């Protein structure tokens, strides 16, 4: 499916890769969790100087790492 607009226009406030709600992370595959972790790390790097954002992103990345590790063990 092509999400591109017919005129090629793209709005900055539209998420290219939306972050799924935390309460749905258990339903994601391991590969989806890894992709989500990478996306969150990119955002953490991009907004690393903003303490409000990093306060949310760091625990989220840590939670994703734990979820990925738990799945790789089983």
What's the mean pLDDT when you consider all of the chain? 85
Nearest to 25 by CA among 40, 44, 9: 40
pTM (two decimals): 0.75
Task: Give CA separation, 12 vs 16, 34, 72, in Å.
Answer: 9, 25, 36
Residue carrying structure tokens 């089983």: 74
Counting residues of the chain whose pLDDT is more than 90, the rounded percentage is: 68
pLDDT, one tens digit per residue, over 2-40 is: 455 556 566 666 557 788 999 999 999 999 999 999 999
Cα distance between residue 49 and residue 43, in whole Å: 11
Token digits for 27?
Answer: 């339903």
pLDDT, one tens digit per residue, over 32-62 is: 999 999 999 999 999 989 999 999 999 999 9
Dihedral through CA 45, CA 49, CA 53, CA 54, nearest 10?
A: 70
């Amino acid at each position: 499916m092509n999400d591109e607009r017919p005129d090629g226009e793209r709005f900055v406030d539209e998420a290219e890769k939306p972050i799924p709600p935390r309460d749905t992370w258990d339903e994601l595959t391991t590969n989806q969790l890894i992709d989500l972790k990478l996306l969150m790390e990119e955002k953490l790097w991009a907004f690393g100087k903003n303490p409000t954002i990093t306060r949310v992103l760091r625990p989220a990345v840590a939670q994703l790492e734990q979820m990925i590790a738990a799945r790789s063990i089983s």
